[in-house]
């Protein structure tokens, strides 16, 4: 189970976390590049070569799997200082993240991992904690320090914090932590009881229930589309990579963030309303 909290790092901590994200992005692209080079070197048949270009790689080089790239990461850290500055488990999780996407691609047959552009790598993970990192209204992150935390709800008793993911939003101006908690309990399979209602999700209306309750489809994006169009037009007129361009892009990102939060708030309120009306809910397909 995951709990999401807003954090408020200071200027030095923000710069450090942004540099970590950029280092993780470069590491991700580097490992993906090695994987793609290995695959491209083995696309052509043994007795013929491509007319356009050919990847020359020794046939003795094994596939750059998860374990081999983790061993390669250890060698890279000996010569590259930016990799040494990032927490070791964070960099290891970057490689794990890549190979999780690779395995998903192999199972589905589509969705090959893609290179991350600048600013597109927006989170990093601390996969384990020996003790509770939350200290009052702060959270202690390895190599980052104590960061102010808005603890709007307490961690339930009996749950243990397994991992913390630091997430950047609105082009690095808003920060969140997604805390994964776990408890060793067994949840019994309760039979259906009490009053039950059916819910059908539609296209014209957001949903309709068997009690003749109809909730109209919200228009969060359409309602703010005019404001978004204005901000995007202003941003397009700025010189790229300038300070004014970055300020305009932050305003666009904040409006997108507002639209997403409004939609999420609506979904939670509708779910709460349905749970108050019945003991069992059946979804129609």
pLDDT digits (tens, 9 = 90+) for 47-62: 666 666 666 777 788 8
* Selected residue with higher pLDDT from 262 and 43: 262
Give the contacts of 206 (CB within 8 A, at least 6 positions apart): 215, 216, 217, 218, 270
pLDDT tens digits for range 113-166? 999 999 899 999 999 998 899 999 999 999 999 999 999 999 998 899 999 999
Q: From CA 22, how far away is CA 122, in angstroms rounded?
A: 9
DSSP 218-268: P-HHHHTHHHHHHHHHHHHTSPTTSHHHHHHHHHHHHHHHHHHHHHHHHHH
What is the per-residue pLDDT for 201?
87
**pLDDT classification of 285: cutoffs 50, 70, 90:** low
**pLDDT classification of 45: cutoffs 50, 70, 90:** low
Residue with tokens 């309303």: 273
| DSSP-derived secondary structure letter, 206 | E
- Going by C-alpha positions, the residue among 139, 110, 132 that lies closest to residue 17 is 139
**pLDDT classification of 39: cutoffs 50, 70, 90:** confident
Beta bridge partners of 17: none
pTM: 0.87
Residue with tokens 């290179």: 115
pLDDT tens digits for range 177-217? 999 999 887 767 766 677 889 999 888 899 999 888 899 99
**pLDDT classification of 16: cutoffs 50, 70, 90:** very high
Give the contacts of 283 (CB within 8 A, at least 6 positions apart): 198, 199, 200, 201
Least confident segment among 85-89, 117-121, 173-177: 117-121
Residue with tokens 């779910």: 271
Instruction: Calculate the alpha carbon distances from 201 to 65, 253, 264 in Å.
Output: 42, 29, 16
Give the contacts of 22 (CB within 8 A, at least 6 positions apart): 118, 121
What is the per-residue pLDDT for 41?
80
pLDDT tens digits for range 234-244? 999 999 989 99
As a whole-number percent, the residues of the chain with pLDDT over 70 amount to 94
Cα angle at 118 between 112 and 124, to 5 degrees? 75
* Region label for 111, one of left (φ > 0), alpha (ψ between -120 and 50) or beta (otherwise): left
DSSP 117-158: PTT---EEEE---SS--EETTEEEETTTEEEEEE-SSPPPTT
What is the per-residue pLDDT for 163?
95
* Other CB atoms within 10 Å distance of the CB of residue 5: 17
What is the per-residue pLDDT for 124?
97
- Exposure class string for 49-71: b at 16+ Cβ within 10 A, else e: eeeeeeeeeeeeeeebeeeebee
């Amino acid at each position: 189970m995951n709990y999401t909290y807003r954090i408020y790092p200071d200027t030095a901590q923000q710069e450090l976390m942004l540099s970590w994200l950029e280092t993780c992005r470069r590491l991700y692209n580097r490992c993906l590049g090695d994987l793609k080079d290995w695959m491209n070197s083995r696309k052509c048949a043994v007795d013929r070569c491509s007319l356009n270009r050919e990847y020359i790689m020794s046939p003795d080089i094994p596939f750059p799997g998860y374990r081999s790239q983790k061993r390669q990461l250890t060698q890279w850290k000996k010569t590259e200082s930016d990799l040494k500055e990032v927490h070791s488990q964070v960099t290891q999780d970057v490689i794990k993240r890549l190979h999780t996407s690779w395995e998903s691609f192999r199972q589905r047959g589509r969705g090959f991992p893609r290179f991350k552009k600048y600013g597109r790598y927006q989170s990093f993970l601390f996969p384990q904690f020996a003790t509770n990192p939350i200290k009052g209204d702060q959270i202690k992150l390895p190599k980052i320090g104590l960061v102010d935390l808005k603890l709007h709800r307490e961690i339930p008793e009996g749950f243990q914090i397994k991992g913390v993911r630091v997430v950047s939003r609105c082009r690095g101006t808003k920060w969140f932590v997604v805390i994964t908690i776990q408890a060793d309990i067994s949840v019994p399979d309760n039979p259906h009881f009490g009053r039950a209602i059916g819910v059908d999700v539609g296209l014209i209306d957001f949903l309709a229930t068997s009690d003749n309750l109809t909730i109209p489809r919200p228009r969060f994006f359409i309602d703010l589309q005019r404001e978004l169009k204005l901000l995007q037009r202003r941003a397009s007129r700025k010189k790229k990579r300038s300070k004014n361009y970055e300020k305009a892009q932050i305003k666009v990102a904040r409006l997108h963030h507002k639209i997403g939060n409004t939609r999420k708030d609506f979904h939670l309120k509708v779910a709460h309303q349905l749970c108050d009306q019945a003991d069992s809910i059946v979804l129609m397909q």
